[in-house]
Chain A
Amino acid sequence: EAGVAQSPRYKIIEKRQSVAFWCNPISGHATLYWYQQILGQGPKLLIQFQNNGVVDDSQLPKDRFSAERLKGVDSTLKIQPAKLEDSAVYLCASSWGVGELFFGEGSRLTVL
């Protein structure tokens, strides 16, 4: 069974530029999550999708972050414009409803 796929693995951008991350969950998993993990901290939930609807985006900085999950399968997380404090690893996870979370390898963003 293929795991959660994420790309790109690494991205370096200047502040005020934009960036997009892509995630393809495990086949059949209805729930998809985007987490932000700053160095030395635990992951923080940014947004949760159930199929193609948003369940929770209370911690998503909506002035610069956006996410979509078209057709209820893969998802894109966008940051525009990026700030220095956005430097982090962006982790995508999926689950079969409310159950065990499975994570991808993450996308490491460095904002200069």
Chain B
Amino acid sequence: KQEVTQIPAALSVPEGENLVLNCSFTDSAIYNLQWFRQDPGKGLTSLLLIQSSQREQTSGRLNASLDKSSGRSTLYIAASQPGDSATYLCAVGDNDMRFGAGTRLTVKP
């Protein structure tokens, strides 16, 4: 059974700092890894999708990498802004996407 862990559970940084969020998973036989953002009281917004044949994806200030052999993914956020404050979730799998508990990010002005 796939287990997904996200560390840290919460992170607070000053505006402008670059930061890395971590996601680890136990079963490397995955098809997709997807990073999401969730604002309070809202649904999940897709940020980046990495398919198993890919190593990384980039969108604006976001870069996600995937290392299947070590069961890890990182989400890099450059030049953080207060508007980046949210919970970030990773999900891994194929038909059955398993989620981590998320990292709650606060970016202070």
Listed in ascending order, the chain A residues whose CB lies under 8 Å from chain B are: 4, 6, 31, 33, 35, 40-45, 48, 55-56, 91, 93, 98-106, 108
Contacts and interface: CB of A to CB of B under 8 A. Distances in A.
Contacts of B100: 42
Nearest to A107: B43
Contacts of A43: 44, 89, 91, 99
Nearest to B104: A40
Contacts of A102: 46
A105 B43 contact: yes
B43 A101 contact: no
Given A41-B101, A42-B4, A98-B31, A103 B44 contact: yes
A11 B32 CA distance: 33
Given A56-B95, A98-B95, A42 B89 contact: yes
Given A42-B4, A98-B31, A98-B94, A106 B99 contact: no
Contact of A44 (B36, B42, B95, B99): B99
B34 interface: yes
A48 B98 CA distance: 13
Contacts of A4: 43
Give the 10 A-B CB pairs with smallest separation, nearest first. Answer: A42-B99, A103-B44, A103-B43, A105-B43, A100-B49, A42-B101, A106-B43, A43-B99, A42-B100, A98-B94
